[in-house]
Amino acid sequence: MTHTESIPIDESPLHLKKVSRIKHIILQKYLPSWTRILGSWNKRLCYFDCYAGPGIYEFEGKPVDGSPIIAVRTAKDYLTSNMGNELVLFFVEKDKKHQVSLGKELGKCGPYEQGLRIHLMSEDAREFVSGLLDQVPNLAPSFFMVDPYGHPLSIPILNKILKRPITEALINFMFYRINMDASNPKVQHHLDEMFGDDDWRKQDFLKESGNVREEGFLQYFLSKINAKYKFFFRIRFDSEDCVSSGRTKYYLVHASNHPKAVLLMKEVMWPLGDDEGLFDFSGRRQGVLFSPSPQEEDLQNFLTQRYHGKKIPFDTLREETWDLPFIEKQYRSAIKKMRNENLLAINPVTSKTDRGLKGQDLVLFY
């Protein structure tokens, strides 16, 4: 571990809002499965937190782990069950106070299992990652936490990351701030740096307002990320912010090139919105009279229209429709109901009986 110089800091943890906490919850739920799946056929894995922070926060009056400590706890559990494997964690944090705080929190996590390597880097994330990519031709399977605006790691660099095999990223797209800065000539150069050029200035969505402008901006941002799968989760302002809760604060974008990665992230994100399947969080979930969640009937209708007269393995069907707001249990339920209504048949391949439905089981649509 890289040591940081001793400087006085305020011992009180920074306050964490609900809309920031959700990012940590997603990471906490995703990383264990990521390490288990990739670690089953890779001896070495890497995790990069490009804006590591202080390692601890105050949330609802109690201390909670920051993303680096979540990663360390996940790594310890993984290596306890996978002796002989290696997990390398890189925490990039330029702020001196955050470095010292994070160093203390990392110290509390010891002793470290054999195979756990931790590097606390006092560097600019852009310079560190750029140098790493130039020096290391082949990374082990890696997961990156990235903020391309607040902690500049430009999209061209992000795309270099995603070109590496079995590499994925959770990207913080700070829409509210970026949208404000796009209209301010004094800071528009920050967007040039993020995108790597000034082509964004010529886009028609900048002439629009409200939801049309937001959707255009989001889709333009996604179009610049060179990954096959880009799944996003909308985060709105919560009651602690002095902004209407209906407005978007930021988007979390999961970028990957493998269908199993996006399907896993969708499973993680699905129950965390204000209502299940919305992928939209404001921290104000209080129950609703009528749920706007996508309904299983919608999935049945879609599958009937798209796959009429075709046969397809269950997993392949889910991969081809990865961008629908439904998860595995809903696909399974919808398909079994359709079988009961004689709309399709299921031929077991992976399952041992016709009551199961998974993997390569064939679904034959009439």
Are 223 and 147 within 8 A, CB to CB? Answer: no
For residue 6, what pLDDT is reported? 45
* Each residue's pLDDT tens digit, 260-287: 999 999 999 999 988 777 788 876 554 4
Radius of gyration of the chain (CA): 22
Query: What single string gives the DSSP state of each residue in 42-83?
Result: -SEEEEEETT---SEEEETTEEEE-HHHHHHHHHHHHHHHST
* Block residue for tokens 């069907």: 317
pLDDT tier at 188, thresholds 50, 70, 90 = very high
Bigger pLDDT: 301 vs 165: 301
Q: Which two tokens stand for residue 76?
A: 């310890």
Bigger pLDDT: 133 vs 150: 133
For residue 243, what pLDDT is reported? 75
Residues 6+ away with beta carbon under 8 Å from 207: none
Q: Is 75's pLDDT higher than 50? A: yes
Q: Which two tokens stand for residue 276?
A: 């299940």
Q: Is 28's pLDDT higher than 60? A: yes
Residues 6+ away with beta carbon under 8 Å from 181: 187, 188, 190, 191
CA dist., res. 47 & res. 316, Å (int): 29
Bond prior to 63 in cis (omega within 30° of 0)? no
Number of Cβ within a 10 Å radius of residue 113: 16
Which segment of 68-82, 200-214, 267-281 scores lowest on mean pLDDT?
Answer: 267-281
User: CA 316 → CA 186, 311, 313, distances in Å?
Assistant: 49, 10, 5
Tell me the one-letter amino acid at 330: Q
Q: Which two tokens stand for residue 297?
A: 């009937």
Q: Is 313's pLDDT higher than 90? A: yes
CA dist., res. 259 & res. 108, Å (int): 37
The rounded percent of the chain whose pLDDT value lies above 70 is 93
For residue 287, what pLDDT is reported? 44
CA dist., res. 75 & res. 79, Å (int): 6
Mean pLDDT, residues 218-247: 90
Closest CA to 264 of 274, 279, 276, 254: 254
Q: Is 233's pLDDT higher than 90? A: yes
For residue 283, what pLDDT is reported? 65
Sheet holding 62-65, edge to edge: 14-15, 56-59, 62-65
Are 238 and 283 within 8 A, CB to CB? Answer: yes
CA dist., res. 281 & res. 334, Å (int): 26
Are 254 and 267 within 8 A, CB to CB? Answer: no
CA dist., res. 106 & res. 70, Å (int): 10
For residue 157, what pLDDT is reported? 92
Strands (E), 219-283: 229-236, 248-256, 280-281
Within the chain, how many helices (H) and strands (E) appear?
12, 14
Are 127 and 121 within 8 A, CB to CB? Answer: no
3-state secondary structure of 322: coil
- Which fold is adopted by the domain 14-281? Rossmann fold (3.40.50)
* Each residue's pLDDT tens digit, 105-129: 999 999 999 999 999 999 888 888 9
Bigger pLDDT: 293 vs 358: 358
Mean pLDDT, residues 156-180: 94
Give the chain's length.
Answer: 366
Are 196 and 154 within 8 A, CB to CB? Answer: yes
Closest CA to 53 of 15, 6, 102: 102
Q: Which two tokens stand for residue 67?
A: 């993303």
Number of Cβ within a 10 Å radius of residue 328: 17
User: What is the rounded average pLDDT for all residues in the chain?
Assistant: 91
Q: Is 150's pLDDT higher than 80? A: no
Mean pLDDT, residues 153-174: 93
User: CA 119 → CA 46, 48, 52, 163, 336, distances in Å?
Assistant: 11, 10, 11, 23, 49
